[in-house]
Amino acid sequence: MISQKMIVFWILLTSTTAMIAFRQIQIPQQIEMSEEKEVWQGLNFAPPENVETTLATLKRLKLWGEPEMTEQAKAGKGATTASGSAANATNKPVISWQLVGIIQQGQQRYVLLLDNTTQKISTHYVTNKLPDEANLIAIHDDAIEIKREEKVEILRLYQ
């Protein structure tokens, strides 16, 4: 069996090792640094200057292909009457803008909206009012949530 001397020896050895290790660990001092010396500054990107030409280039290249229409949608498109379009207008109001992009700078996200009448692109953050008085609730990776007439809608970027 293990003798008492060996047990005492191992206890003393481990406690001595622990004390030496504890003395070797240095607790860092918190030093105040000036902003010039601070390494972890956030990146500040200038907003894109010419978004319209970038959007035109993306539309021209058709990176995501042409939208596919089913036969039923093609047949329904030709058969739409004035009363049918009026019924659609009462159920779902026409949006006067188009979602063209979602940008993230740091933790802040904002959306790029193209106004269909003026062909100008504007940026909007969460909780901003959109051009047709809808509220922007949330911005996701490829979609936004808006609230119009007490209904929440999800608009996808690539649809």
pLDDT, residue 3, reads 87
Does the residue 59 lie in any domain? no
Does the residue 109 lie in any domain? yes
pLDDT, residue 74, reads 53
How many angstroms separate the CA atoms of 104 and 42, rounded? 13
Does the residue 108 lie in any domain? yes
DSSP 129: B
Does the residue 71 lie in any domain? no
Residue with tokens 């995501």: 64
| Overall number of domains in the chain | 1
Q: Could you tell me the two tokens for 113?
A: 């909206």
Q: What is the pTM of this model?
A: 0.42
Provide the CATH number for the domain around residue 124: 2.30.30.830
Instruction: Tell me the residue range of the domain where 113 lies.
Output: 94-159
Average pLDDT across each block of 10 residues of the chain; the chain has 159 residues. List them in order. Answer: 87 94 81 70 71 80 66 50 42 76 88 87 85 86 87 85
How many angstroms separate the CA atoms of 90 and 88, rounded? 5
